[in-house]
Chains A and B, each alone.
Chain A
Amino acid sequence: MDIFIQQVINGLTLGAVYAMVALGYTMVYGIIQLINFAHGEVVMIGAMVAFSVIGALAPSGLPPLAIVLVAAGCAIPVCMLVGYAMERLAYRPLRGAPRLAPLITAIGVSIILQHLAMMIWSRNPLAFPQIIKVESYHFAGATITSVQIAILAISLAMMAGLAALVYRTRLGTAMRATAHNPQVAGLMGIDANRIIALTFVIGAALAAVAGVMVASYYGIAHYAMGSQLGLKAFCAAVLGGIGNIPGAMLGGVLLGVVEALGAGYIGDLTGNVFGSNYQDVFAFIVLIAVLVLRPSGLLGERVGDRA
C-alpha cells in the first residue's frame, strides 16, 4: 500500500509538471486554435536563464529563496520577450493562412531557439544548482519533498490564476471575445492583435515559471529538454480537451498518474512480458482510448462539425 501511495505521489508531481507546461499550450490554443509547438523551448529558455542567474548570485550570500525568486524574476521577462517576438515574427504574418502553415513556422522557431541556447549555454547537460535545502516529509510509508509540494501548489495556483484572468477580468472577456469571433470583437473596439500578443506573452511567463520548477526538481537543464516535455504536455492538453484551462490540469495529472502506475504495475500484471519499457505505450493507449470515446478530450467542448 505504501508503494501505491508513493506511486500516486510520483504521478501527481509528474502530472503537475506536465500541467504547468500544458496550461501554456491550451491558453494559446483557446484564443487562436494554434498549437504553439515551440512552447517547450520557451520552458527551456526559462530554465536556462534561471540557471545563469542562480549561478551568478549563489556566491553572493543572499538567502537561497531570494536568489530563486530573483532567478524567476529574470526568467519571466526574458521568456515574455521571446514569446512576443515569436508571435510577432512567426505567427502573426500567418493569420488567415492554412491551418498547418503555423505548424511549420513553429518547428522553425523551435530549431532556432534550441540552437541559440546551444550557443549560449553549451551542449552540456547542466547541473541546476540545488541551493534550497530539500526537506523530505514521510507519511504512511511514502516520501514527499518540499519541491514536489511546491510544484503541486504552483501548478494549482497557475491554473486558478489563469482561470480567474480569463473568466473574471476585462482582459479575459476580450480574450474570449477574440477567440469567439475576431472580426466582431474588432468591431466592439477590441484590438485582436494586441490581445493575441498578450496571450502569447502570458503563456511565455507561465512557461518561464514551469522551466524554473522543472529544472530545480530534476536538478538538470539541457538545451534539448524542451521538446520531450513539450510533447508530453501537448498530449496532456489534448487529453483534457485542448483550449480548456481546468482540462489542461486534469489531462496533465491523469497522464502523470497513468505513466507512474504504468511503470509501477504493468510488469507485475502481465507476468513481466511487458515492463516499464512499455510505459509510454500504456500512456498512449489510455490517451487514444479517451479520445476515441470522447473525441474532444475530457473537458473539451463538443465542437461543431465544421470547426
Chain B
Amino acid sequence: MTGSIARLKRHPAAPWAGAAIVALALLALPFALAAVGTAWVRITNLAILFVFLSLGLNIVVGFAGLLDLGYVAFYAVGAYVYALLASPHFGIHWPFWAILPLGAAVAALFGVLIGAPTLKLRGDYLAIVTLGFGEIVRIFLNNLSQPVNITNGPQGIARIDPFRLGGIDFSKSDNFLGLSFSGPIKYYYLLLAVLLAVIFINVRLQNSRIGRAWEAIREDEIAARAMGIDTTRVKLLAFSMGATFGGVAGGMFSAIQGFVSPESFVLVESIMVVSMVVLGGMGNVWGVILGAVLLSFVPEILRFTVEPAQKQLFGRMIIEPEVIRMLIFGFALVLVMTLRPGGLWPSTVRKRELAERRP
C-alpha cells in the first residue's frame, strides 16, 4: 500500500494531479461554504484581503527586515482612492479596472514618501515612526471634511460602487449554468484570481535578484552594501512594493463593503497584519498565507462555536461568549508563539538560524 503511494508520488503527472485537486477544491469552496452560510463566504473574502495585506507587509518585514507598524495607511489610501472615484460623494463613477491600478500607484507613492525619511532608522525606532505615519494618515482622513470636504470625515463614504464587468454586477445575484452566484461568491472568484497573481509575484520576487538583495539587507546591512547593493534604492523598493499590495487590497475592500470610514484603518489593524506575518512565518510566502488565513478564521470560528459549546457543556451561559472568544484568541497567540517561535511555517533561512542559536 505504502509502496504504491510512493510510486504514485514519483509519477511525472503527480504534481499536476495535485494542483488540479487543489484548483477544483478552491473552485468548489464557495458553494460548500454557502451551504453552511453565506457569512462564511464573506469571511473567506475578508481572509483573502488579509492575505494580500500580509503578503505585502511580508515584503517589508519578512524579506527586508524592516518593522512597519503603520502598514494600514496604504490599505486606507487604496480604499479611499476607490471610494472617492466610484461613489456619489463626488459624483465620479470610474470603472474598477481603472481605479485599482491608480490606487496601487498612489499607495506606492506613499510608500516612498514614508520610506525616504526613515531609511536611517532601525528596529523599534523605525516601528514607532511608521506607526506615527499610519496614525497621521488616519487622522487626516478623519479631518479632511473641512475646510473642503474631501473624505467626508468620520461619517465615511457610503454607497460605493460595486465592481462591474460587462453586464455583471458583483453586488447582485446571478444564475450561470444552473448555479446561483451570490454577490460574495462572485467576489470570491475575482479575489481568487487576483490572489493567484499576487502569490505568483511574491514567489518570484523571493527568488529574484531583488529578493536576495532584501534578504542580504535583513541579515547584515553593512555587508550588503559592501557587496555593491544600493541599500537606499532597494529599501525604498521594498516599501513601495509592499504598499502596492496594500493599495490593491484597500480598493477591493472598498468595493466589497460599499462603505469606508477612518474607523476601519486603526492601529489595531496594522498590528493584526504584523501578527499574521509573524505567526505564520516571516519571509515564507506560504507561512504568511497560513498565518493570515488562521488569524482571520479563528475568531470567526470561535464566534460560531463558543456559545453552543458552552450551552452543551454546562447547559447555560457561564461566561459571556464574546469574552471567552477573546480569551481563547489571546491564549492561542501566546501558545502558538511559545511552541513555534519561528512561526508556524518558517522560511528555511530562519529555520537554519533558529537551529544555530540553540546551545
Contact = CB atoms under 8 A, between A and B. Distances in A.
| A and B touch in their complex, CB below 8 angstroms | yes
Interface of A: 29, 35, 89-90, 93-94, 96-105, 107-112, 114-116, 118-119, 231, 234-235, 238, 242, 273, 277-278, 280-281, 284-285, 287-288, 291-292, 295-297, 303, 305-307
B128 A112 contact: no
A116 B330 CA distance: 11
Closest 5 CB pairs of A and B: A97-B341, A108-B333, A111-B330, A284-B132, A112-B330
Contacts of A114: 326
Contacts of B341: 93-94, 96-98, 101
Interface of B: 61, 67, 117-118, 120-125, 128-129, 131-133, 135-136, 139-140, 142-143, 147, 220-222, 267, 271, 274-275, 278-279, 282, 319, 323, 326-327, 329-334, 337-338, 341-343, 350, 353-354, 357-358
B135 A284 contact: yes
Contacts of A101: 278, 337, 341-343
Contact of B139 (A89, A108, A111, A277): A277
Contacts of A234: 128
A98 B338 contact: no
**Secondary structure call for the B interface:** helix
Contact of B125 (A109, A112, A291): A291
Given A118-B323, A278-B143, A96 B358 contact: yes
B139 A97 contact: no
B125 A238 contact: yes
Contacts of A108: 329-334, 337
A306 to B, nearest CB: 7
Given A100-B67, A281-B140, A305-B222, A109 B330 contact: yes
Contacts of B220: 306
Nearest to B279: A104
A295 B121 contact: yes
A305 B143 contact: no
B129 A288 contact: yes
Contacts of B125: 238, 242, 291, 295-297
Given A100-B67, A277-B143, A278-B143, A288 B330 contact: no
A305 B223 CA distance: 11
A288 B134 CA distance: 12
A111 B267 CA distance: 15
Contact of B350 (A29, A98, A112): A98
Task: Specify which of B117, B124, B220, B323 lies most central, judged by the most chain A CB atoms within 10 Å of its CB.
Answer: B124
A115 B327 CA distance: 6
B143 A103 contact: no
Contact of A280 (B139, B334, B358): B139
B118 to A, nearest CB: 7
Contacts of A110: 330
A305 B334 CA distance: 31
B176 to A, nearest CB: 43
A277 B138 CA distance: 12
B326 A111 contact: yes
B135 A103 contact: no
Between B143, B278, B319, B342, the greatest number of chain A beta carbons within 10 A of the residue's beta carbon is seen for B278
Given A35-B124, A281-B140, A288 B132 contact: yes
Contacts of B271: 107
Contacts of A104: 275, 278-279, 333, 337
Most buried by B among A115, A118, A277: A115
Given A105-B334, A111-B330, A288-B133, A278 B139 contact: yes
A96 B341 CA distance: 9
Contact of B120 (A119, A288, A295): A295
Contact of B121 (A90, A99, A291): A291
Contacts of A287: 128-129, 132
A18 to B, nearest CB: 14
20 contacts: A94-B338, A96-B357, A97-B341, A97-B354, A101-B278, A104-B333, A105-B334, A107-B333, A112-B327, A112-B331, A116-B327, A235-B132, A273-B147, A277-B139, A280-B135, A284-B133, A291-B128, A292-B118, A292-B121, A295-B121
